[in-house]
Amino acid sequence: MKLNYCHVAGGNFGDDLNTWLWGNFFEDRLFNREDGCSFFGIGTLLSTSNLAGRDKMVVLGSGAGQKCVKYDREKCEFFWVRGPKTASALGLSPGLSIADPAYLLLESPLRELEEKCYKVSIIPHHKSISLLDWSAVSKRCGFNYIDPRCDFQQVIEQIKQSEIVVCESLHGAIVADAFDVPWVAVSYGYRFNHMKWQDWAESMQLTLKVHDLPCAVTGKVKWTTGWKNYIRSKIGKAINNPAWSKRPYRTTGSAELQALEECLLSLAIPEKTSLSDRDVVKGKVNAMMGKIDEFKAQYL
């Protein structure tokens, strides 16, 4: 059985968590078997292209990022998926929608809480890092900057040490939610995937509020990319399409940067935060542990 997850160049803690988390529940030999079976865990992994051309697949909590996914039903075994939107995209029973597997951290050696060290931490999406000097912005706001490319244990530790976490990273919010740390969802980059956020939120019975951040770019934008993105941004604004309107086409000035920082400061307050009900979290973890027992009975 082969462990499949999204390998991000430079690292991304939510995806990399797969390499450690499942070893807490299954024997190491599980992923050394040459049986032609693919294992899908944490991540937005369920796409038409990713499910094509495989002999056998088992899914424990993965999500979809598009409204319709085509796949060979005879080759896929679903123990559970991330949320109701994923179940709908794959034509599955709503009963297979439980929650993101990252909540299983509460049944792992990393479940212990940490002493609070940071009033506010911020964790962007890994694809937004090249566009903005997040470390400098965080420092001026008085925030702790959590780089999602760092080792997952270090990222999780800093999240647990925070009183509030401002998240563009979905798994930043999920880990915060698991450990009872209030979080705020923000959208900065043009690649922001609202469906996967909503999928997760609905699974946890949350009313999701995503706050759009003003555009500010400190990274260099190539002129060939810039003029294309300029046209796209104008069209995107006209048709209200964030995936186009937020495309960076130039390095912005101090006024735009100040607007971004002021927006972040206005959001990093208790009144803007969200958090799942603890009984809901406990119920989801228990349900996933039950599915893990079913998987072990069948495959170990």
Question: Which residue has 């462990």 as its token pair?
Answer: 3
pLDDT in tens, 262-296: 999 999 999 999 999 999 999 999 999 999 999 99
Instruction: Look at 61-65, 204-208, 251-255 and tell me which has the smallest mean pLDDT.
Output: 251-255
pLDDT at 244: 76
Give per-residue pLDDT as tens, 15-70: 999 999 999 999 877 888 888 899 999 999 999 999 999 999 999 999 999 999 99
- Over range 153-161, report the average pLDDT: 98
pLDDT at 182 over 80: yes
| Alpha carbon 195 to its chain's center | 11
pLDDT(73) > 90:
yes
Separation of alpha carbons 8 and 16, rounded Å: 8
The answer to whether the CB of 71 falls within 8 A of the CB of 51 is yes
Binned at pLDDT 50, 70 and 90, residue 249 comes out as confident
Q: Residue 13 pLDDT more than 90?
A: yes
Percentage with pLDDT > 90 across the chain: 81
Q: Which residue has the tokens 């490319």?
A: 149
Backbone angles phi, psi at 219, to 5 degrees: -75, 160
Q: Can you tell me the mean pLDDT for 161-173?
A: 98
CATH class of 112-276: alpha beta
Per-domain boundaries in the chain: 2-107+280-299, 112-276
Query: According to the model, what pLDDT value does residue 189 have?
Result: 81
pLDDT confidence of 242, banded at 50, 70, 90? confident
Is it the case that residue 243 has pLDDT exceeding 80? no
Averaged pLDDT for residues 232-248: 83
Record the tokens describing residue 268, joined without a space: 């990093």
- How confident is the prediction for the chain on average, in pLDDT? 94
What predicted TM-score, i.e. pTM, was given to this entire model? Answer: 0.94
Task: Flag whether pLDDT at 141 surpasses 90.
Answer: yes
In terms of pLDDT, which residue wins out, 181 or 131? 181
Contact between 264 and 32 under an 8 Å Cβ cutoff? The reply is: no
CB 161 within 8 A of CB 143: no
Q: How confident is the model at residue 80 (pLDDT cuts 50, 70, 90)?
A: very high
Question: Within a 10 A sphere around the Cβ of 178, how many other Cβ atoms?
Answer: 26
Confidence of residue 78 (pLDDT cuts 50, 70, 90): very high
**pLDDT at res. 221:** 79
pLDDT for position 154: 98
Rounded Cα distance between 249 and 235, Å, is: 13
At residue 258 the predicted structure's pLDDT band, cuts being 50, 70 and 90, is: very high
